[in-house]
Chains A and B, each alone.
Chain A
Amino acid sequence: QKEVEQNSGPLSVPEGAIASLNCTYSDRGSQSFFWYRQYSGKSPELIMSIYSNGDKEDGRFTAQLNKASQYVSLLIRDSQPSDSATYLCAVNMQGSNYKLTFGKGTLLTVNP
């Protein structure tokens, strides 16, 4: 069973702090990794995609990928209350360049 694991949270951080969200995956051959943000009652919205080992930065967001450790993370700098949402990690498993396997998500709360 190919899986994507995330801490369900909730993860609570004060406004202005760094929020760190983590994800592990079981399929060593996975090639593509995505972070989606989902506000309560809304549909998932793409935040970041990452394909190579290392860091990828986009504004306040940094995705980190370590394929050897089968680990992908999302850092949110200068967290804002508007960042409060569930963050979903999604992985394209080996042999499937279309199907996304999602983790159950981590609920992040940023306290003013």
Chain B
Amino acid sequence: GAGVSQSPSNKVTEKGKDVELRCDPISGHTALYWYRQSLGQGLEFLIYFQGNSAPDKSGLPSDRFSAERTGGSVSTLTIQRTQQEDSAVYLCASSKPSGGAETQYFGPGTRLLVL
């Protein structure tokens, strides 16, 4: 595709429910990243995928958060038993690594509100 796409664009859920957020990276980009941005805060790294594997999950805030990537393309971030503090914008980015730092291109984000 032309850019990184994410769905849904907005999600309102009740505390305790599970949610799934989807990211479709730029075609050909093997690296995929999830970030979280809370109101007035910077971007917080959550997880990094290279292909289908996740060599760095260090940013996941708790075991309620998980992510997977299939076919080296689409990724899903799942938050189980959502809490109000999970409310944030979840941003996905992709890049085409070439052995060094590569530009990350961001999707439009999913705005999650947990009531």
Contact = CB atoms under 8 A, between A and B. Distances in A.
Interface of A: 4, 31-32, 34, 36, 42-46, 49, 51, 88, 90, 92, 96-105
A43 B106 contact: yes
Given A32-B101, A92-B101, A104-B41, A98 B108 contact: no
B41 to A, nearest CB: 6
A29 B21 CA distance: 34
Q: Chain B, interface size: which category?
A: 20 to 34
Contacts, number: 58
Interface string B90-115: 01000101011111111111000000
Contacts of B50: 98
Contact of A44 (B31, B41, B43): B43
Given A42-B108, A98-B33, A99-B56, A34 B103 contact: yes
A102 B42 contact: yes
Contacts of A103: 42
B42 A97 contact: no
Contact of A97 (B35, B100, B108, B109): B100
13 contacts: A31-B100, A32-B100, A42-B108, A43-B106, A43-B108, A44-B106, A45-B106, A46-B105, A90-B43, A98-B56, A100-B45, A101-B45, A102-B44
A102 B46 CA distance: 12
Contacts of B45: 99-101
A46, A96, A99: residue with the most chain B Cβ atoms closer than 10 Å: A99
Given A88-B42, A98-B33, A99-B45, A43 B109 contact: yes
Contacts of B48: 98-99
Contacts of B101: 31-32, 51, 92, 97-98
Contact of A49 (B91, B103, B105, B109): B103
Nearest to B49: A98
A104 B40 CA distance: 8
B52 to A, nearest CB: 16
A101 B35 CA distance: 10
